[in-house]
A and B are shown apart, each in its own frame.
Chain A
């Protein structure tokens, strides 16, 4: 291939193990450099994975506490209620302020500290270099930095619970003027976000450079696994959508600390007193800047999930993906479009019909590529001899769950139907269907699929299936009733779940059922946690390619891959990513690196 002439620097060092001895001055890495401040993408990927799983657990715990208040408003929390301070839950009864803090931090933690770091930081880091036949990421030190910056951001967010007035309480969207006038916690939120944004930017630059520059010989763009494509487009979204939020964050920090009025309109009165600010600012400015990030952000949440599902489906149907190229084109188109739909979150702000019309049209257009990708994945099942492995179960469940989430988004994308539904539980139902039974199930699929590569052992299937059915059923138990509550008019973010409203009478008692589902969902994670740790020692040992897959991470690297450099020999790609069941081939899978 074209690059082999120039690339002599690396391709000479075919035997990584040998070159180690020659010029690797730190080949005897100490504990700290090996496991804590490592520059190896595999270690960093695992660090991201464990940290983000921990944050997912923390975010989920917040919600489980809130669900007690929603199911039994004003009743003291049994068993563990006494653990909380008088500022948060006096006598075990949750204060409204604390409810708001938990809500804001649940959203923030789940999105920015849980899903994205798991989907991009963990899976992207671990799998992308292996799938493209690269010895590591393009900038290993930057990679380490991005993990630690993320870590610090997470700590700042958690610590904010202990500053005077507690953590941020204006929702994960932090709308001003409210977010401008609340206590210190919001400042901590902004500082934490600056860290998280910086981490994402470093990561995005690294992923893009890696994918563009470090593809193995013969691995052209249209031979990349769909997962790599998904990470590629995701990185572009992170790279270009996050900075405007960073700008907005800086402006909000100025408002809070220096007293400027970027987001403060003139004549604002708070608790009967006129605020002493210059005024002339606009709360809507924040919403525009925020959603300019946050709409692309929702695709950051879903695209890596689609990538994982595509890998698992191709592998377990034993046939090529249906319409791989169309899927890639849809992905790219989706990436572009996601930058011009943001104001569909703002239909009730009085933007005017022309602007509103524009965003309704773009929103309808962007749903086309999403539907194409989903349909292609669905059609890929057709005529396959499906193996119902544990990862495949999660991947299969993703399809209808994401379908529900996407379809319920359509009425939200049209102003006439969105206006009554905006800020109701319906919206909460919509996006949780895409992110929870959608993305999270896909991420589980990824864990079950790649765990053997990372550890050399398989996760237990019985426990896996228990985990799967529990998660699927209870997630639906939580989120399905939200649509009905929302259509009845119940707003989101209500401290009592809507009890004081007469119109909510018929649906407010669903809250108990939903809360019990949430707690049972926690129980359903126990088999997973046991499985995850037990299998490190007890899992069935596997060879390099237990799933009989075609892509390079399985066919060219041992399980787990070589410590530094991944491959004993840097592979060369000779074919596309999904050559399953090729007529005339010796096996039903033809590895990408098979000449």
Chain B
């Protein structure tokens, strides 16, 4: 038995199954982060000051606690990785598997770099005793960036698979492999997009 439209798009909908599936999944992800952002807004509106008191010290701006330069760097890294992700996919369309390896490798490394920077950021917070339990500002910061970080790790697992063992499919079923890379790319762009919302709302506003 074969499931229809696993590789070729259905004429009247214009998509193959996995592409529709990932769009639907992303819609649910929008609602997940939407719920978290709403929680953030809700708490912030209710708070007398933001970020407010932490360890007896009053902060007027988020950027007084958080490391904006590092976060800016991370923004660049993620945007760059979205570009290499597209290039990886495009390389396959041009039948350049070597280029695919290169760009997918870069995408993977960018993800890793993002996490390393993030680890430094978290580390310096912990050093100062800025833990999630200290204030709602820190709680929001850690929870939202932490969940986003988990999404980055999830994306890296997928990308790593497509770079390593999963790449064998290029030999046997190239069309399906290209689809997989495209779908993984859609997810990766979403992860990027979430960060682009997170960065200004948490670090700058």
Contacts and interface: CB of A to CB of B under 8 A. Distances in A.
A and B co-occur in one complex:
yes
Interface of A: 1-3, 5-7, 9-11, 13, 16, 19-20, 24, 134-136, 138-140, 201, 204-206, 208-209, 212-214, 239-248, 250-251, 254, 258-262, 277-278, 280-282, 285, 288-289, 292, 564-565
B39 interface: yes
B2 A5 contact: no
B69 interface: no
A241 B27 CA distance: 11
Contact of A247 (B1, B15, B35, B139): B35
A9 B10 CA distance: 11
A289 B40 CA distance: 12
Contacts of B135: 278, 280
A281 B43 contact: yes
A239 B27 contact: yes
A259 B133 contact: yes
B132 A254 contact: yes
8 contacts: A205-B21, A209-B17, A243-B29, A248-B39, A250-B143, A251-B143, A258-B132, A259-B133
A244 B5 contact: no
Contact of B24 (A13, A239, A242, A277): A239
B139 A261 contact: yes
Given A214-B4, A260-B136, 7 more contacts: A2-B11, A209-B20, A213-B20, A239-B24, A242-B28, A258-B131, A289-B38
A214 B29 contact: no
Contacts of B52: 280
B7 interface: yes
A313 to B, nearest CB: 31
B34 interface: yes
B65 interface: no
Nearest to A567: B1
Given A243-B32, A260-B136, A261-B136, A19 B17 contact: no
A140 B3 contact: yes
Nearest to A10: B4
B134 interface: yes
Contacts of A214: 3-5, 17
A138 B134 CA distance: 47
Contact of B35 (A11, A138, A282, A292): A292
- Most chain B CB within 10 A, of A135, A248, A281, A292, is at A281
A256 to B, nearest CB: 11
Contacts of A289: 35, 38-39
Nearest to B36: A247
B173 to A, nearest CB: 12
B149 interface: no
Contacts of B32: 243-244, 246-247
Nearest to A138: B17
A285 B39 contact: yes
Nearest to A564: B1
Interface residues of B, number: 46
Given A20-B1, A254-B143, A240 B31 contact: yes
A244 B35 contact: yes
B194 to A, nearest CB: 13
A139 B1 CA distance: 13
Contacts of A204: 24, 28
Contacts of B143: 250-251, 254, 260
Most chain B CB within 10 A, of A10, A136, A565, is at A10
B180 to A, nearest CB: 13
Lowest 7 A-B CB distances belong to which pairs? A244-B35, A247-B35, A259-B133, A243-B32, A565-B1, A260-B139, A10-B4
Contact of B10 (A208, A213, A243): A213
A6 B25 contact: no
B21 A285 contact: no
A16 B133 contact: no
Contacts of B134: 278
Nearest to A20: B1
Nearest to A244: B35
A244 B147 CA distance: 14
A239 B24 CA distance: 8
Contacts of B147: 250
Contacts of B42: 282, 285, 288
B2 A10 contact: yes
A5 B36 contact: no
B46 interface: yes
B27 A240 contact: yes
Given A243-B29, A260-B143, A282-B46, A277 B2 contact: no
Given A3-B12, A247-B35, A292-B35, A262 B133 contact: no
B20 A16 contact: no
B1 A212 contact: no
A325 B32 CA distance: 33
B48 to A, nearest CB: 9
B21 to A, nearest CB: 5
B151 to A, nearest CB: 13
A20 B1 CA distance: 6
Contacts of B15: 213
B3 A262 contact: no
B172 interface: no
Nearest to B25: A205
B131 to A, nearest CB: 8
A282 B46 CA distance: 8
Interface in B32-83: 32-36, 38-39, 42-43, 46-47, 52
A9 B52 CA distance: 61
Nearest to A566: B1
A277 B39 CA distance: 19
Contacts of B31: 239-244
B27 to A, nearest CB: 6
A248 B147 CA distance: 13
Contacts of B133: 258-261, 277-278
